[in-house]
Homo-oligomer: A and B are copies of this chain.
Amino acid sequence: MIKHSKQRDAIIARLSGRTDHPTAETLYQEVKKELPNISMGTVYRNLKQLASLDKILIVRSPFGPDRYDPIPNQHPHFFCTNCFAVLDLDVDKNKILATGQEGFKGEIQGCISSYHGLCPDCLEKLKIKN
């Protein structure tokens, strides 16, 4: 049985609507302003619980700690190798899933596709420099 908690509320409030895929540490620092003695454990525990209830998504980064996403269904991400921004990619996931299925004898239940390179901002800045 799940009980209400203001700590969890604050975590959800901080995460929802965002598109920047913050880390647990970032969320912790931000929620701490509102609830000064919340602990890291509480942040991790709740993020994990929310993910297991499919309320949020944990996005594993190839370049650092996990990022958290208010959009609960799996979707492709782009990781900027320059500024470490994590962006949503508007990609047809089913297309990628289908590609994987070709000739595979097992049962594919999902796929996680991540792209990396320079984000639009970093690419633009680099172009101006040269």
Contacts and interface: CB of A to CB of B under 8 A. Distances in A.
Interface string A73-101: 00010101100000101111001110110
A58 to B, nearest CB: 10
Interface string A49-76: 0000000000010100000000000001
A116 B123 contact: no
Chain A facing B: main interface SS: mixed
B113 A112 contact: yes
A60 B91 CA distance: 22
Given A62-B60, A123-B105, A100 B110 contact: no
15 contacts: A60-B62, A78-B100, A80-B106, A87-B106, A106-B118, A106-B122, A107-B117, A107-B123, A109-B116, A110-B115, A110-B117, A111-B115, A112-B113, A112-B115, A112-B116
